[in-house]
Structure 1
């Protein structure tokens, strides 16, 4: 007796349903067919994705060979991005130095 309830002897849980073996096998086969179909579609999608990316890469390589390089890419390739001034950090330091000098004068 647990918490005022009487335990019934026997198995717990769902009772096994009397499923026809042929129906069960057919459901399993259908599930396998659907799985193979999904797998085939997934592989087709991935192959199309890879081929489109390869075409894009080839087009970009041709542009590079012909000399049509955008200025942003040229800057990255030559390392000119380090020469550009970093406005964010310089403005912060100049504001801080002004605040310090103003605080000293008050």
Structure 2
């Protein structure tokens, strides 16, 4: 029999796992899950705020578009709206017209 050859015992490779307290590991996992849920909730709240802001901007732009359409219809009939007269006389600016329609126009900040 040859003593120079050593027989390896079958087993796991690499580092042996350290003795970890299972309760502590479970608590860390729970804490991590709580933090993940909180981040997810915060992300959804931020997205909802963004969506509502965009919806307000869309409504304001639609109202402004309707106003311009009405002006075009009136001008096609030969009538000049008083707002356009004020704009041409220099009393109001186009921004002023839009802000008179909407008290606060949500848009890009």
TM-score tier (shorter): 0.5 to 0.7
Q: How many residues align?
A: 63
Q: 1:29 to 1:58 in 2, by over 3 A?
A: same
Q: Distance in 1 between matches of 2:57 and 2:7?
A: 70
Q: Which has the higher helix share?
A: 1
Question: Structure 1, residues 15-72: CA drift from partner, whole Å, max 9, x if none?
Answer: 111100110111011001101100110000100010011011001000001117xxxx
Q: Specify the alignment match of 2:84 in structure 1.
A: none
CA RMSD between the two structures: 1.9
Q: Specify the alignment match of 2:89 in structure 1.
A: none
Q: Specify the alignment match of 1:31 in structure 2.
A: 32
Q: Specify the alignment match of 1:93 in structure 2.
A: none
Q: Distance in 2 between matches of 1:7 and 1:48?
A: 67
TM-score, L = length of structure 2: 0.52
Structure 1 segment 1-106 matched on structure 2, within 5 A: 9=9, 10-67=11-68
The gaps in structure 2 that reach 5 residues or longer are 1-5, 70-109
Q: Distance in 2 between matches of 1:47 and 1:58?
A: 17
TM-score, L = length of structure 1: 0.54
